[in-house]
Amino acid sequence: MKFENTGLESFKADLNRLDEVMSKHGLVREGQWDYERVTYDRKFDLKEGIFYLRVFGFAAEGDVGAHRAVIQLMTPLLGKHYYPHGVEYGEGETFPNSLVSQCEKLLADIKNEVEAFAE
């Protein structure tokens, strides 16, 4: 499920500041990066299954590995995890309304914080 028009996709932000804001809201980067891309994940373990809120980005400037990059954020996604295949984001997926609402609030809160220092 895509979260269209969150406003996040219009931001470019410093990687280190972005790491702090995302971490504050439970989204972690961990090993989900290469020198040009990042993925911030938050796991939701519900009775309906395991879901991931993902915020993707790519280095518009600099190097992620050197912790000196400006990240262009992309459209956030919500997916359901299926063992052993991975996360599915398809239109055929069903997401609990309470989870969708929680994710929308998280993304709005993140947008408000990132907006203060984004380019």
2-51 pLDDT per residue, tens: 999 999 999 999 999 999 999 999 999 987 778 899 999 999 999 999 99
The structural domains of the chain, with segments of one domain joined by +, span: 8-115
| β partners of residue 63 | 68
Please name which of 94, 1, 103, 114 lies closest in space to residue 49, comparing C-alpha atoms: 94
The number of C-alpha atoms within 13 Å of 63 and in the hemisphere containing its C-beta is 2
Query: What are the residues facing 76 on neighbouring strands?
Result: none
Residues 6+ apart with CB under 8 A from 108: 6
pLDDT band at 85 (very low <50, low <70, confident <90, very high): confident
CATH architecture of 8-115: 2-Layer Sandwich (3.30)
pTM for the full predicted model: 0.91
Specify the higher pLDDT residue, 89 or 72: 72
pLDDT by residue (tens digit) across 61-74?
A: 999 989 999 999 99
- In the numeric block, the tokens 């990042």 are attached to 38
Is residue 111 scored above 80 in pLDDT? yes
